[in-house]
């Protein structure tokens, strides 16, 4: 007997054939999909404790955000004078590091994550890859974040961002934090797991990169790192060569590495990425917000590089907005050509390629038997028919976060008729505002 049946929906699977089932059903047992197909066939073979009638609705795999900093949602709208930042490094050195990262404490992490998870779940994001930046909350920082994710019901891959920006000691503490967390959390059926993360090649010295690679090999946990968010002058100043060469020489690059931003990669760097099967987290909206450029995503896709999407938590927490931004941006940049980004490529980045970017494609990213049950049920508010020929267009052009009615993560209904079943959303919003105000005060901004 199954635990949950979804019947009579229009199912867009995102499986290998990008199959669409007109009158489809999904049976879920525990946290996995055990059957998917025509409603008549699935219901003949499966009964369940709960059945959701998805008549007139569209069923899709949960969206995947491959890069964010959930704790940093407390910096949204922080009243800082941006006119004094004339370049990206000013913003980091004068604002981000001293007034956000270094001021973030345990309760900030917990409530910001809880708020972010709620907002993401309700807008269809079922998995987040996150890099925590909060050296003042070490050790134990990841536990506050994991507790919030556990309670909210979101799937998460968490890592603490190791850096020697302020001291060697904090760098070591961060590495230990990741190692402890990965060893505690990475179990086959875990919903919240860990990774190793280094901030950048200019703030993490080669020995740290080598150590992170060693731990990732030892635990099979994978690696996160920001790369080429701005031209590599800092890395060249420090190590005599740009980030890609530093990373290659440290043995860091590989198919288990998710590199974030990748704006200022040369053609040779892109070839190097393809050669090592390095993955990319594309964050078009935060890149635009920081005025730092446009990644050569069409060129990367043409080379077969796996690209997922990230909202970075700096601005919106809704991945549909980021998907649409990426879809439109690359039609005009780096070179104007409407064929640079096709609708299905945008949807792939938000689903199956996001899963590949996190090395989770065997578990999530599409609706298939054996995969984890991370499922969205959306109201069909499209002005034209949603069918086998149009459903991927619909998801990219017409679907709004407000149409997402039911969200299932790991077989559990976490959003039921637009209400979170796992947590008190209003409490998280209220506490998040309180924590933000206290943090801004500590930072001397208000
Ligand atoms: Zn980031």
pLDDT of residue 202: 92
How would DSSP label each residue in 132-198?
A: E--GGG-SSHHHHHHHHHHHHT-EEEEEEEE--SS-HHHHHHHHHHHHHHHHHH--TT-SEEE-EEE
| Cβ neighbour number for residue 291 with a 10 Å cutoff | 13
CA atoms of 279 and 222, how far apart (whole Å) = 11
- Digit-coded pLDDT (tens) for 4-18: 999 999 999 999 999
**pTM attached to this predicted model:** 0.98
How many structural domains does the chain have? 2
Distance 224 CA to ligand 1 centre (A): 10
Residue 130, H or E segment: strand 125-132
In a domain? residue 391: yes
Query: Which CATH number is 345's domain given?
Result: 3.20.20.140
pLDDT value of position 314: 83
Is the pLDDT score of 86 beyond 90?
Answer: no
- Give, rounded to a whole angstrom, the gap between the first and last alpha carbons of the chain: 57
Residues 122, 109 share a domain: yes
Judge whether 441 lies within some domain.
no
> What is the Cα–Cα distance from 373 to 30, expressed in whole angstroms?
9
In a shared domain, residues 345 and 376? no
Q: Kindly give the distance from the C-alpha atom of residue 229 to the centroid of ligand 1, in angstroms, as a whole number.
A: 9
Say if 430 falls within a structural domain: no
Range of the domain at 101: 63-357
Judgement on whether residues 53 and 77 belong to the same structural domain of the protein? no
d(CA 53, CA 149): 28
Ligand 1 center–CA 108 separation, angstroms: 18
* Residue 300 shares a structural domain with residue 390: no
Question: How high does pLDDT run on average in the chain?
Answer: 97
Q: What's the CA-to-centroid distance between 275 and ligand 1, angstroms?
A: 24
Q: 206: exposed, middle or buried (C-beta count within 10 Å: 0-12, 13-18, 19+)?
A: middle
Does residue 266 share a domain with residue 379?
no
Are 334 and 255 members of one domain? yes
Cα separation, 27 vs 47, whole angstroms? 8
Same domain, 377 and 327: no
**What are the tens digits of pLDDT across the range 181-213?**
999 999 999 999 999 999 999 999 999 999 999
* pLDDT recorded at residue 88: 83
pLDDT tens digit string along 317-342?
999 999 999 999 999 998 999 999 99
110 with 143, same domain? yes
The Cβ of residue 204 has, within 10 Å, a number of other Cβ atoms equal to 28
Model confidence at 230: pLDDT above 90: no
Calculate how far, in angstroms, residue 237's C-alpha sits from the geometric centre of ligand 1. Answer: 22
Q: How far is the CA of 386 from the centre of ligand 1 (A)?
A: 35
């Amino acid at each position: 007997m199954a635990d949950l049946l979804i019947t009579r929906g229009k199912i867009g699977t995102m499986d290998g054939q990008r199959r669409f089932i007109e009158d489809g059903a999904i049976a879920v047992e525990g946290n996995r999909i055990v059957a998917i197909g025509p409603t008549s066939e699935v219901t003949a073979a499966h009964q369940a404790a709960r059945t959701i009638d998805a008549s007139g609705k569209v069923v899709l795999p949960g969206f995947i955000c491959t890069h964010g900093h959930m704790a940093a949602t407390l910096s949204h709208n922080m009243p800082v004078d941006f006119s004094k930042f004339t370049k990206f490094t000013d913003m980091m050195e004068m604002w981000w590091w001293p007034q956000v990262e270094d001021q973030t404490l345990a309760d900030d992490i917990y409530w910001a994550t809880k708020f972010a998870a709620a907002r993401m779940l309700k807008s269809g994001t079922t998995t987040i890859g996150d890099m925590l930046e909060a050296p003042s909350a070490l050790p134990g920082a990841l536990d506050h974040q994991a507790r919030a994710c556990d309670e909210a019901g979101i799937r998460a891959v968490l890592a603490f961002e190791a850096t020697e920006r302020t001291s060697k000691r904090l760098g070591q503490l961060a590495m230990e934090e990741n190692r402890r967390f990965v060893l505690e959390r990475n179990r086959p059926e875990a919903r919240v797991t860990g990774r190793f993360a280094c901030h950048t090649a200019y703030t993490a010295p080669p020995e740290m990169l080598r150590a992170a690679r060693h731990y990732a090999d030892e635990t099979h946990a994978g690696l996160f790192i920001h790369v080429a968010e701005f031209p590599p002058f800092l890395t060249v100043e420090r190590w005599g060569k740009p980030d890609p060469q530093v990373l290659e020489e440290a043995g860091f690059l590989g198919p288990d590495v998710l590199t974030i931003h990748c704006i200022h990669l040369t053609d040779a760097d892109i070839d190097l990425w393809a050669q090592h099967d390095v993955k990319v987290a594309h964050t078009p909206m935060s890149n635009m917000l920081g005025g730092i450029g446009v990644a050569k995503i069409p060129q990367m896709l043409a080379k077969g590089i796996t690209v997922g999407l990230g909202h970075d938590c700096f601005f919106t927490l809704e991945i549909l907005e980021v998907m649409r931004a990426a879809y439109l941006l690359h039609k005009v940049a780096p070179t104007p050509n409407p064929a640079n980004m096709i609708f299905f490529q945008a949807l792939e980045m938000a689903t199956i390629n996001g899963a590949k970017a996190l090395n989770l494609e065997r578990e999530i990213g599409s609706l298939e038997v054996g995969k984890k049950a991370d499922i969205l049920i959306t109201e069909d508010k499209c002005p034209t028919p949603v069918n086998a020929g149009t459903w991927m267009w619909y998801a990219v052009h017409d679907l709004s976060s407000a149409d997402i009615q039911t969200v299932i993560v790991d077989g559990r209904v976490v959003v039921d008729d637009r209400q979170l079943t796992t947590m008190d959303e209003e409490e998280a919003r209220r506490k998040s505002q309180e924590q933000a105000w206290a943090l801004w005060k500590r930072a001397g901004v208000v």
